[in-house]
Amino acid sequence: MGATTDPTQRMQERGLLHAQERGLLHALEEIVGPQGLRTGAYGRAMYRRDASFLNAEPLAVAAPRTVEEAARVLRACRDHGVPFTPRAAGTGLAGGATPVGEDRRPLVISMARMDRIVEVDAAGRRAYVEPGAVNLRLGQAAARHGLRFAPDPASQIAATLGGNIATNAGGIHVLTYGVMSQHVLSVDVLDTDGVRHTLDGTLAEQGGLDVRGLTVGNEGTFGLVVGAWLRLLPVPPHTATLLAGFPSLTAAAEAVSAIVTGSRLPDAIELMDARAIHLVEDYAQAGYPSDAAAVLLVEHEGLTHGVEAGVAEAERLVRAHGASTVTRAADAAQRARIWKGRKAVAGAIAKVAPDYYLQDVVVPRSRLAEMLAEVVAIGEREDLTILNVLHAGDGNLHPFVAFDRREEGVLERVHRAGAAMVTTALSLGGSLTGEHGVGVEKRDFLCEVFGEDGLEVQRRVRRAMDPTGLANPHKVLPTPAGCAESAPSMVPTGAWV
Amino acid sequence: MAGAVLRAETAEEVAEAIGQARRQARGLEARGGATLLPRLGGAARPEPSEDADVLTLDGLSGVVDHPAADLTVTVRAGTPVAELASALAEAGQECPIEPLAGADGAPLGSTVGGRVSAALAGPRQLGAGRVRDWVLRVRYVTGEGRVAHAGGATVKDVTGYDLCRLLTGSWGTLAVLTEVTLKLRPRPPARAWYRTTRPPSAWWATLHDPAAIVTDAVGTSVLLEGHPDDVAEQADAAGLEESTPPTPPTGARAVVAPSRTDELVAAISELDCAWAAEPALGLVHLAGDATALEQARAQAERLDGRLLRLDGDAQAPVFGHDPGPDPYAGPLREALDPDAVLAPWRWSR
Ligand SMILES: Cc1cc2nc3c(=O)[nH]c(=O)nc-3n(C[C@H](O)[C@H](O)[C@H](O)COP(=O)(O)OP(=O)(O)OC[C@H]3O[C@@H](n4cnc5c(N)ncnc54)[C@H](O)[C@@H]3O)c2cc1C
Ligand SMILES: Cc1cc2nc3c(=O)[nH]c(=O)nc-3n(C[C@H](O)[C@H](O)[C@H](O)COP(=O)(O)OP(=O)(O)OC[C@H]3O[C@@H](n4cnc5c(N)ncnc54)[C@H](O)[C@@H]3O)c2cc1C
């Protein structure tokens, strides 16, 4: 159905769509029950947005309880020609779970009622989970067997494993353990016909094309993730955590490069600037030095001698780069407080301003200091308050821009700042997004990143995985019009801020 | 029409070769070091033939960029793995996609592109993870001649769909790799192979994160890496003796889910085969005559596993399966290589 300019015809099409929508809602009520369906203005309003500031109106919200129900929901969408947006905890930061529909409002499919950790196979070091299970709960379940789940996004108390799979999430300890994809052994997906596929990685090789790997990070555009076998790891016997305070942001960033090129790669290196430190210290009581311009958190895990050699080297390097205070966590409780502070930044930001925009760009690690200096400059230029927290060991920056949307013209400045950060990162040889995904927010940048041919390959892959185009439309890939515009838009048609 | 060996030194030349093959409706076999292709029997065309040209990538070679401070390296796809490894060693770094030695100890001439395309598990996969986990960015030319890339030169990049994973292990179908960016790590300060004849159950649990474990009919070889004192203490605690690296047979590779390795080994040790297993990975390396290897295949398949013949027997099944049951394989191939130019014969045997 191509776009048409004839108003009468357009209204007819609208009428038809409405009939299809009504038909779908009837079918859905039968499938998920009245408890599982929200059609009212209030119920739908809660699903307008994720943790980004983009929002849009869903047709309705359906929450299946089982794979079978989910499959029937997808078939109903297909039969009625209605697009859908999968949604888990809604902590995504790129608008991936925002139900954008330029002409047809999508159905939001909530995974909230499929949230079981089905099995922990301790001997096989793996667990089977439903997509709505919260990341942290898997960690807790694994701990009872002396195991752990490595990917630990700072949002892990709320974000779900299905959401982590759909975004190929990162986290604090991915520096040596790797991003989500490395921890997904196999994934069960429903395609847009509601057919279930187990995309398998249980064989170490010869398993055919790695469609599992392709599917991780698809941001809901291939269908629904309905379950997965995830890899668990033994808890390392020894851990050491270092907290170093620096007189300048640059010194801290340069220390990161030095540590990364040292003789042992730490398992986590995080950086926080002075604003972030002050924000969370009261709450976390982690002992962050209050007069530091930046702190580094460095953690080594593993066997005793390696860990001790690693922290000794890290300590030497941070001092050589001007660290004024260096503390080592005395025990597990102090270590927990140090990490609690790091993970609390987003929650505490409300103390600074009611809204925040969180950017996610990556640069080669040797360019960190340059990139950070530029972020500071962008903040000054746009007169915005920026807090910096970084997965520094990965070169992954997360500048938080704190603002109050009621302030006249502020959104434009925030958008300009976000776009400037992206452009700077790309010019330093970096990446558009390290872990939060493309969603709607960054899709128009893909024109520049991939070029014509690269983009065409991406489009074809999407069509191969979802020939109907109903799975989370308007996400990840730019529209041809988006590529024609001179400056990428961070708020595409169909979404509001 | 007799085939030709085409040579490409740039991505554009790869695209040209692909374009020519498309126009002439001929198949094209991407060839790296040719250490594996000739062993694939009827599932490969390592030399030009009636219906196929060979695209050799030995001219597409060399390290493009090794910013040591970023722990990444970018190489052209035809770069020999051994050449890469020695460049990295100079900087005290490594990528655990290691150069492989033949039975005589001399390095095989395998290339980075070949290694990534086949994605067979190396012995250190146990500790270091899979080949695919070390691939950050690929530049490639699709079977349709589109020159493109996926991923980035940073350690994390979720821009667009993850074609790095899709193309790793695609065996020269879908696209030809022209350049690969790999993640690196510092070389472990100590590394040594050990050996024991005691059963793994007696010592396995005392080891934290061993780098490789290979068992055979007589005993078990263990690779330990890390701080020298940790390596020594672990070896002591587990009662391991220092030894030489194992040399598993190379006639075929069987793979099952790790939990079923013991069952597979039990079945295979009844056959007239030499074998060595990597139990934590579910891998069994084999050598034997065609009958024995096919009996081994039957056992692997009985356990939902697979077997890859690497003895170059032109009459024999090679992969022994068609990944066709994967309903996405067809559409993906259609998406990247619609005219079936790139090794359309690959899964035929
Ligand atoms: C304070 C804060 C800190 C954060 N820190 C990190 C961090 O350290 N690392 C990191 O990687 N991210 C981080 N994030 C981002 C976010 O938490 C992750 O992207 C997370 O993976 C999203 O999970 P979710 O369950 O909230 O998914 P949602 O936001 O609900 O959805 C995310 C995307 O996945 C799709 N999706 C969800 N479930 C499914 C499914 N079952 N099937 C198919 N598609 C699905 C959605 O359509 C959407 O495109 C942070 C976010 C916040 C607010
Ligand atoms: C004795 C022996 C032991 C081995 N042991 C191991 C082991 O322990 N672990 C392990 O991982 N491997 C092992 N291998 C296999 C080894 O991985 C291969 O040698 C290597 O993968 C192939 O490299 P090559 O450059 O020689 O590729 P080739 O043999 O030339 O080609 C191999 C495959 O890759 C494709 N290909 C090559 N280059 C490209 C490219 N640029 N783009 C797209 N496709 C391409 C080819 O089409 C073919 O399908 C062993 C091989 C031998 C002979």
Do A263 and A338 sit in the same domain of this protein? yes
A105 and A147 inside one domain:
no
Give nearest CA residue, ligand 2 atom 20.
B115
Using alpha carbons only, what angle is made at residue B102 by residues B98 and B107, rounded to the nearest 5 degrees? Answer: 55
Find out whether the beta carbon of A218 lies less than 6 Å from any atom of ligand 1: no
Domains annotated for chain B, with CATH where assigned, are 1-186+321-349 (3.30.465.10), 188-316 (no CATH)
Distance, CA of A236 to chain centre: 26
CATH number of the structural domain spanning residue A30: 3.30.43.10
> How deeply is A11 buried, as exposed, middle or buried, from its count of CB atoms within 10 A (0-12, 13-18, 19+)?
exposed
For residue B58, the CA-to-ligand 1 centroid distance in Å is 43
**Higher-pLDDT residue of B182, A9:** B182
Count of CB atoms within 10 A of residue A54's CB?
Answer: 24
* pLDDT in the model for residue A15: 56
Q: Flag whether A276 is in a domain.
A: yes
3-state secondary structure of A277: helix
Same domain, A75 and A133: no
Q: Do A305 and B227 touch (CB under 8 A)?
A: yes
Spans in chain B with pLDDT lower than 50: none
Tell if the pTM clears 0.90, that is, is over it: yes
Compute the Cα dihedral for A446, A448, A453, A454 and give only its sign. Answer: negative
Question: What is the nearest CA distance from A215 to chain B, expressed in angstroms?
Answer: 8
CB contact under 8 Å between B233 and A204, yes or no, is: no
- Please report the atom of ligand 1 found closest to the CA of residue A86: 47
Test site for ligand 1: of A48, A74, A91, most ligand atoms within 8 A of the Cβ:
A91
Q: Which residues' Cβ are closer than 6 Å to ligand 2?
A: B 29-37, 57, 77, 100, 102, 108, 110-111, 113-115, 117-118, 120-123, 171-172, 176-177, 250, 343
Same domain, A83 and A125: no
Report the gap between the CA of A451 and the closest CA in chain B (Å): 8
Structure confidence at residue A202 as a pLDDT band (50, 70, 90)? confident
The answer to whether A387 and A375 have CB atoms below 8 angstroms apart is no
- Of A288, A322, A346, the position where a domain reaches its end is A346
Closest residue in chain A to residue B338, using alpha carbons only: A460
CATH of the domain at A226: 3.30.465.10
Output b/e per residue, B254-269; b: 16+ Cβ within 10 A: bbbbbebbeebbebbe
Q: Which domain holds residue A36?
A: 9-110
Dump strand ranges (E) for chain B: 5-7, 27-31, 52-56, 63-65, 72-76, 93-94, 135-142, 147-151, 175-183, 185-186, 190-196, 212-215, 220-226, 241-242, 252-255, 274-278, 283-287, 306-309
Residues A244 and A340 in one domain: yes
Confidence of residue A346 (pLDDT cuts 50, 70, 90): confident
Q: Is A219 in the pocket of ligand 1 (CB under 6 A)?
A: yes
A4, pLDDT greater than 50: no
- Whether ligand 1 lies within 6 angstroms of the CB of A343 is answered as no
pLDDT tens per residue across span A320-330: 999 999 999 99
The reported pLDDT for the residue numbered A104 is: 87
Ordered alpha helix ranges (H), A150-238: 161-167, 174-177, 211-215
The structural domain count of chain A equals 3
The CATH number of the domain holding residue A339 is 3.30.70.2190
Torsion angle, CA of A178/A183/A185/A190, rounded to 10 degrees?
A: -110
> Per-residue b/e over A22-46, b at no fewer than 16 CB within 10 Å?
eebbebbeebbeeebbbeeeeebee
Q: Which of A316, A346, A376 is the last residue of a domain?
A: A346
Identity of the residue in A199, A217, A364 whose CB atom sits nearest the CB atom of B154:
A364
Q: How many CB atoms lie within 10 A of CB A192?
A: 22
- pLDDT single digits (tens) A153-162: 999 999 999 9
Please say whether the beta carbons of A307 and A239 come within 8 A. yes
Note the ligand closest to the C-alpha atom of A222.
Answer: 1
Nearest CB partner across the interface for B161, out of A178, A302, A461: A461
Which of B66, B132, B134, B161 best tests the A interface by mutation, with the highest count of A CBs <10 A?
B161
A264, A429, A465 ranked by CB distance to B153: nearest: A429
At residue A133's C-alpha, the angle toward residues A477 and A51, to 5°, is: 45
ipTM of the complex: 0.96
Q: Name the band, by pLDDT with cuts 50, 70 and 90, for residue A7.
A: very low
> How far, in Å, CA of A400 to CA of A419, rounded?
14
Nearest C-alpha to atom 38 of ligand 1 is from which residue? Answer: A163
Domain final position from A234, A267, A291: A234
Regarding whether A65 and A145 lie in a shared domain, the answer is no
Centre of ligand 1 from the C-alpha of residue A368, in Å = 25
Reported as a pLDDT band with limits 50, 70 and 90, residue A208 is: confident
